[in-house]
A and B are shown apart, each in its own frame.
Chain A
Amino acid sequence: AQSVTQPDARVTVSEGASLQLRCKYSYSGTPYLFWYVQYPRQGLQLLLKYYSGDPVVQGVNGFEAEFSKSNSSFHLRKASVHWSDSAVYFCVLGGLRSNNRIFFGDGTQLVVKP
């Protein structure tokens, strides 16, 4: 069965610190993986996506994510967070064997302290 797990409901970091938000997926085929961000009172916006190739993908605003097939993971990273990065981050899984459905993780709320 296909699924996405974001094990951390909430992560708090200080401004300027590095960040990793975890995402684990379960999928038997080749996954399509996305990270979306939701700022307060807004819809979701795409940060980055992975289809194939280089396992490290770059996104907007200095975010990157690394795909690991062996670990079934797609963790999001940023070297130095800013207070404006405070938001909810969703990891999303799709794939050709998923009956054309995509699967959202439960989201991780990121709080950046000044």
Chain B
Amino acid sequence: DPKIIQKPKYLVAVTGSEKILICEQYLGHNAMYWYRQSAKKPLEFMFSYSYQKLMDNQTASSRFQPQSSKKNHLDLQITALKPDDSATYFCASSPGTGRTNERLFFGHGTKLSVL
């Protein structure tokens, strides 16, 4: 029974379109994250949120916008999609405030393919 739900599991998009990746966690955690995994970079940190506030952003492009409507939600909106955005996007959470000694819990990922 997964405690971090990512939807959809697979997503195919057309270049230039916009998509939203959904993430909900039912672990009662305070911090949530987005990571990206592709053939070019095994695992790349994108964003971290703590109590619905942005803590860190290491994504250069403003085309990627996290959205947190509730403490246990952190969606990822991607606009003007490019083929280079093709990757598996992982949502994660941790129990505390996002400190570096916390264990991360990962969802199963959304595999995005941009044609």
A interface vs B, CB < 8 Å?
32, 34, 36, 41-46, 49, 51, 88, 90, 94-96, 98-102, 104, 106-107
B interface vs A, CB < 8 Å?
4, 42-43, 45, 48, 55-56, 58, 90, 92, 98-101, 103-104, 106-109
Question: Interface SS of chain B: helix, strand, loop or mixed?
Answer: loop
Q: Which of A42, A88, A96 contacts B100 (CB 8 A)?
A: A96
4 shortest A-B CB distances, which residue pairs?
Answer: A94-B100, A43-B106, A32-B101, A107-B42
Q: Which of B42, B103, B108 contacts A43 (CB 8 A)?
A: B108
| CA gap between A100 and B58 in the complex, in Å | 12
Q: Which of B90, B100, B103 contacts A46 (CB 8 A)?
A: B103
Q: Give the residue name and chain of the B residue nearest to A51 (CB).
A: B101
Q: Which residues of A lie under 8 Å from residue B48 when comparing CB positions? A: 100
Pairwise interchain contact A104-B45, C-beta atoms closer than 8 A: yes
| CA gap between A42 and B37 in the complex, in Å | 12
Q: Give the residue name and chain of the A residue nearest to B50 (CB).
A: A100
| CA gap between A94 and B106 in the complex, in Å | 17
| CA gap between A45 and B45 in the complex, in Å | 16
Q: Which residues of B lie under 8 Å from residue A32 when comparing CB positions? A: 100-101
Pairwise interchain contact B100-A43, C-beta atoms closer than 8 A: no
Pairwise interchain contact B103-A34, C-beta atoms closer than 8 A: yes
| CA gap between A36 and B42 in the complex, in Å | 13
Q: Which residues of A lie under 8 Å from residue B106 when comparing CB positions? A: 43-45
With contacts A42-B108, A43-B90, A44-B106 known, is A101 near B56, CB below 8 A? Answer: yes
Pairwise interchain contact A44-B90, C-beta atoms closer than 8 A: yes
A-B contact pairs, 25 of them (CB 8 A): A41-B109, A42-B108, A42-B109, A43-B90, A43-B106, A43-B107, A43-B109, A44-B43, A44-B104, A44-B106, A46-B104, A90-B42, A90-B43, A94-B99, A96-B100, A98-B100, A100-B56, A100-B98, A100-B99, A101-B45, A101-B56, A101-B58, A102-B100, A104-B43, A107-B42
